[in-house]
A and B are shown apart, each in its own frame.
Chain A
Amino acid sequence: MDRMKKIPVREQEPEVRARNFDEVCYGYDEFEARAEASRCLNCKKPGCVEHCPVSIKIPLFIKQVKEGEFAAAAATIAEDSSLPAICGRVCPQETQCESGCILGVKGEAVSIGRLERFVADWGRENGVSTAAVPSRNGRKVAVVGSGPSGLACASDLARLGYEVTVFEMLHKAGGVLQYGIPEFRLPKERVVEPEIDNVRALGVKIETNVVIGRTLTIDDLFDREGFEAVFVGSGAGLPKFMGIPGENLNGVFSANEYLTRSNLMQAYSPDSDTPIRIGRKVAVVGGGNVAMDAARTALRLGSEVTIVYRRTEKELPARAEEVHHALQEGIHFCMLTNPVEVLGDEKGNVRALRCLRMTLGDPDASGRRSPVPVPGSEFDIESDLVIMALGTSPNPLISSTTKGLETDRRGCLVATPEGATSRPGVFAGGDAVTGAATVILAMGAGRKAAAAIDEYLKNRK
């Protein structure tokens, strides 16, 4: 075995998986996991832990895997993360834990993500219970949103003895894990739901169908429902559109809508009552993970899919693995291309996306070279369905109904690194504060806020 190389992971063949919604990656088996774990050097000063937003004791759990002590490894991870089967699948490990791995200097980093996933899946399949219900201190904390930040915050607070209620506005708990990330990357019944059940097993109550800012306000939570502190992890918000002509034609969707229909409402399944439009030729505008998810979803529904992005492959903000998978599955990439208009037929249905060719100019403030249109380069991409995956802007539901809650220029909630907002007793984290980011960063923010809430409530009594 070459210590410098990762043990490869088995995946569904691209041409097969392009036609189904089953998980792409099969994950390691016990033998593969132990072999991969044996690559770890167990560094004295582990760079991986430093680069993990929730500081999982990575060398320890990997050592336990190497020794075949899988239940112990599950317990080790559970000390710091309540959603390991999810994070093992969707964290951008290459820019986090694995970027700190010393093996990565000369070869390939240890496959920490796949090992985390292996341990979590093994634990679930073998009925390892990692949740000991702690004794209650009788103090109530409310969590707004059951996405990654809310679940992480709620589990830490429950472990500290607080009585935690999570309010979710949709009919299913999980936030972006339910509505955003597709089944083929993150299975819902097999992975997301059991992991949320683990959070419930800690004594956390999750109430669905409650919209904070509408059904109840933040003030109601304090005054009427008796909560002493509130964590707001309400997520990213409203989808952005380009503001070009033709965007309201029939057949133009936000990625949020397309993915919500397919994921949360399971419109891909014939059993679902929710309809979804299936395009013959689909253009997805954007280059992030959400664009890849939308494109790969449309592909699986039977469409021919093109991703339209105004910079080059090098600048794509999506994870390399997602881009790689999308290419393997046969998605076309149309780079250095920027839409200027959506064209419709006489009935108001989309027929094409009019675009301009771009070149890369000088680097902008973010260090990325900014795209510049090539004059006279207009051309049309034939499409009957266009999906806009351009990011989101904050949802004003909470900020507009809560006095004394400061927002920034973009409308995101203002919070300290510990999660304190301008209003005493109200904490916030995740996409509601940072704008759209990743699952693990949101979890990290949720955990920090849980510690800050504990500190705040201890000092209050």
Chain B
Amino acid sequence: MYKIVSKKVLNPSVTLMEVEAPRLAAAAKCGQFLIVRARERGERIPLTICDFDREKGTVTICTQAVGASTRIINAMEEGECFTDCVGPLGLPSEFTEWDEARLAGERFLFIAGGLGAAPVYPQVKYLHSKGVPVDVIIGAKCADLLIFADEMASVCDNLYLCTDDGSLGEKGLVTGVVTRLLAEGHEYTRAVAIGPMIMMKFAALTLKPSAIPLTVSLNTLMVDGTGMCGACRVSVGGKTRFACVDGPEFDGYEVDFDEAMRRQTLYRDLEIEADHKCRIGRDA
């Protein structure tokens, strides 16, 4: 069993949990994901690995309640156990394979939207530990939903915050900040965008003229997460790829985001139905 050793409620819909999974923690690299099941008969839910502690044997996950299963996860408390936790899955971020010579001269811009700040954090932390300069933009709907600002501030060079309503940082979208930074003459060799599909789509459109190589991380639907089912297929450069084994990170300029967004909605009507299904006596 996979015990929740600590839980932090970041905002009403987002929790951060540190989960005991020693083998997973030992093998995890940034950019990868894992799959949890909250209970018997539970759904397999893919979540990006937000941090890992090899000595403690724990991994950190950040969950946003978007449907029935993620709500069940968020209701779990410290000391409770996930029935299953498996990973690391997918390929690590490309730069984790680079040596110091390859990393020298690089300057990264990370663009995080909403929950995306959580998976961005270990990547920034890793690059910072290698001495690579990193700027980070975190955007959210409002101040309450903006997460990981303090953690990020300690591992990046410049942190830019923005909210749709202006309740924290600049008022506006992450793409506005990107445009401003580029206009001000900030130079980057690489960009990474992680967040809602729609944000990644517009991050790609905004960055395209600059030709800065852009990586995005796709949170598609999945069942097994190991290549068996094909639920996660995405069109990248006109070719069908599986996000679970070929990704989850892809070239941001090659991804067909419109298709990816459409595929994400596949179970939305069933999800609404599930929300209304009477579950009294079932959730014990």
Residues in A lying within 8 Å of B, measured CB to CB: 169-171, 179, 208-211, 214-216, 237-239, 241, 243, 247-248, 250-251, 253-254, 256-257, 260-261, 265-266, 269, 271-275, 277, 347-348, 395-397
Stretch at the interface among B36-44, B105-113, B170-178: B36-44
Q: Are B266 and A273 in contact (CB under 8 A)?
A: no
List the B side residues contacting A396 at CB < 8 Å: 227, 245
Cβ of B102 under 8 Å from chain A: no
| B274 at the binding interface (Cβ < 8 Å) | yes
User: Would you give the shortest CB distance from B90 to chain A, in whole angstroms?
Assistant: 8
Closest to B2 in A: A209
- Cβ B227 vs Cβ A238 within 8 A: yes
Neighbouring B residues of A266 by C-beta, 8 Å:
41
Quick one: which of B44, B86, B229, B263 contacts A254, CB cutoff 8 A? Answer: B229
28 contacts between A and B (CB under 8 A): A169-B226, A171-B37, A208-B84, A211-B89, A211-B226, A214-B27, A214-B87, A214-B88, A214-B226, A215-B88, A216-B27, A241-B233, A243-B240, A248-B240, A250-B265, A254-B229, A254-B231, A260-B229, A266-B41, A272-B41, A272-B43, A273-B42, A274-B43, A277-B267, A348-B259, A348-B262, A395-B227, A397-B227
For the complex of A and B, the 7 pairs showing the least CB-CB separation, nearest first, are: A257-B229, A209-B86, A171-B84, A254-B230, A273-B43, A275-B270, A348-B262
A277, B267: Cα distance in complex, Å: 8
Closest chain B residue to A393 by CB distance? Answer: B227
- Cβ contact within 8 Å between A265 and B245: no
Q: Is B181 in contact with chain A by the CB < 8 A criterion?
A: no
Identify which of residues 63-92 in chain B touch chain A, using a CB-to-CB cut-off of 8 Å.
Answer: 68-69, 72, 83-89
Q: Are B267 and A275 in contact (CB under 8 A)?
A: yes
Tell me if A248 and B89 are in contact (CB < 8 A).
Answer: no
- Which residues of A lie under 8 Å from residue B259 when comparing CB positions? 248, 348
Contact B240–A241 (Cβ < 8 Å)? yes
> B9 at the A/B interface (Cβ < 8 Å)?
no
Q: Which residue in chain B gives the minimum CB-CB distance to A259?
A: B229
User: Which of B43, B85, B234, B266 is A265 in contact with, Cβ under 8 Å?
Assistant: B43
Are the CB atoms of B44 and A238 closer together than 8 Å? Answer: no
Residues of B within 8 A of A237 (CB): 227-228
Residues of B within 8 A of A253 (CB): 230-231
Q: Is the CB of A238 within 8 A of B41?
A: no
A397/B245 in contact, CB under 8 A = yes
Q: In the complex, A3→B68 CA distance in Å?
A: 58
B232 and chain A: residue at smallest CB distance: A257
B72 CB contacts on chain A under 8 angstroms:
273
B86 pairs with A169, CB closer than 8 A:
yes
Q: Does B93 contact A (CB under 8 A)?
A: no
